[in-house]
Amino acid sequence: MSQFPVENGELVVGGIPLCRLAARVGQTPFYAYDRGLLTRRVAELRAALPASVKLHYAMKANPMPALVGHMVQLVDGIDVASERELAVALDAGADPREISFAGPGKRDAELLRAVAAGILVNVESFREVPVLARASQALGLPARVAVRVNPDFELKSSAVKMGGGPKPFGVDAEEVPALLAGIGRAGLAFEGFHLFAGSQNLKAEAIADAQQKSLALALRLAGSAPAPVKVLNLGGGFGIPYFPGDTRLDLAPIAASLAEIAQTAAQRLPGAELVLELGRYLVGEAGVYVCRVTDRKVSRGQVYLVTDGGLHHHLSASGNFGQVIRKNHPVAIGNRMDEAAAAAPVSVVGPLCTPLDLIADRMPLPDAQPGDLVVVFQSGAYGATASPGGFLSHPAVAEALV
């Protein structure tokens, strides 16, 4: 993975050679996120997309407070999915006017906190309207709302579909006019629409197509809105390459399509701002997961490197975070980057008593020894907090922003 340099056979993360970084963190396993790469990613994306498009960070991809603090300096807003994420975003210095809150099961207390904070709530259920109205009344502050629409189309080629057909997310497009009427009657401050069709998509044309359809749908629904549309959140879905054969997302067709969308929006929804909310794409490639080889076993000819880390910290690398077919994430021996692969493929496993705890299944890797450091790349998103840390009661993973 070329985003991290190699010096004297050792991977360098955030300018620090890996063995020294492990000593600095004070333990393995750990996640390390490279500040410079985060900054570069946002700058590259901004350079590629029309300047008028706002970039939000969907912090469920990686809610580490220090990382969120770094992202707040780079992006235009933060999307949160729970009251704890909201607290982290506020503490990190995010402007409440630029925080939005989505989620299919917002509790009453969460909605009250959101209204008190002055953030934008993406309404996903008829039930939320009277709850928000009561919160507005109690606080003397009208709730700022957008409507999350479950679109009447699907995001093609998306690994994780979150819109189209029956979904627990958002309100079905055909029900939205009735919801908008309710929002108007309740006196909530309507600001716009939010559409999020799916995640981890590497096909630019599919993303552009979904964005065009989202605009068309928003234009149709705007006629029923109680106030002008100020914000149109087109979601995200931008994927990153994980597996051999994955090709990097081509931003050019998305940028061209967004330029058209911006032009149409300027005419038909004057004053509305366009927002993309991205998680994985912004942070995924900036992170590594590092664990240490604790044992090397040979079972009937197959070499197993046993490590102190595994699926309890990195469910996705084990292939159990929504993947249909298990494939190896990119893995290396971080202190043997210059060494050739062993003659026979090597498997890397964790300490858990389950065959699911597999980090690398028969991969070409150098033949490592106890003490060596295994690195899983593309680990900056959906890592520590997307893994069952309590399973088998092993020590917790550490995180460092470097």
**Binding residues vs ligand PLP (CB under 6 A):** 58, 60-61, 79, 102, 196, 199-200, 235-237, 277-281, 381
Residue 242 or 372: the one with the smaller Cβ distance to ligand PLP is: 242
Residue 41 or 292: the one with the smaller Cβ distance to ligand PLP is: 41
Cα–Cα nearest to 235, from 267, 266, 213: 213
- Closest separation in Å from C-beta 282 to ligand PLP: 8
Residue 61 or 202: the one with the smaller Cβ distance to ligand PLP is: 61
Q: Which residue is nearest to ligand PLP (CB)?
A: 279
Residue 196 or 377: the one with the smaller Cβ distance to ligand PLP is: 196
Residue whose structure tokens are 């240490």? 292
- Closest separation in Å from C-beta 274 to ligand PLP: 15
Distance CA 202, CA 206 (A): 8
**Residue 68 one-letter amino acid:** V
Distance CA 231, CA 361 (A): 45
**Residue 315 one-letter amino acid:** L
- Closest separation in Å from C-beta 53 to ligand PLP: 15
Distance CA 125, CA 148 (A): 9
- Closest separation in Å from C-beta 58 to ligand PLP: 3
Residue 60 or 106: the one with the smaller Cβ distance to ligand PLP is: 60
Residue 294 or 320: the one with the smaller Cβ distance to ligand PLP is: 320
Residue 79 or 372: the one with the smaller Cβ distance to ligand PLP is: 79
Indicate the helix (H) or strand (E) that contains 181: helix 176-186
- Closest separation in Å from C-beta 233 to ligand PLP: 8
At residue 350, the 3 state secondary structure works out as: coil
Q: Where are the beta strands (DSSP E) in 183-301?
A: 189-195, 198-199, 231-233, 273-278, 287-299
At residue 153, the 3 state secondary structure works out as: coil
- Closest separation in Å from C-beta 15 to ligand PLP: 26
Distance CA 236, CA 57 (A): 10
- Closest separation in Å from C-beta 102 to ligand PLP: 4
Residue 283 or 373: the one with the smaller Cβ distance to ligand PLP is: 283
Sheet harboring 16-17: ordered strands across?
6-7, 10-13, 16-17
Phi, psi of 390 (to 5 degrees): -85, -10
- Sequence-ordered list of residues with C-beta below 8 angstroms from that of 43, at least 6 positions apart, any chain: none
**Residue 395 one-letter amino acid:** P
Indicate the helix (H) or strand (E) that contains 264: helix 251-268
Residue 186 or 240: the one with the smaller Cβ distance to ligand PLP is: 240
Residue 7 or 44: the one with the smaller Cβ distance to ligand PLP is: 44
Residue whose structure tokens are 């009427």? 181
Q: What is the CA radius of gyration of the chain?
A: 23
- Closest separation in Å from C-beta 140 to ligand PLP: 29
Distance between start and end Cα atoms, the chain: 18
- Closest separation in Å from C-beta 149 to ligand PLP: 12
- Closest separation in Å from C-beta 337 to ligand PLP: 28
**Residue 373 one-letter amino acid:** L
> Is-contact 173 218, C-beta < 8 A?
no
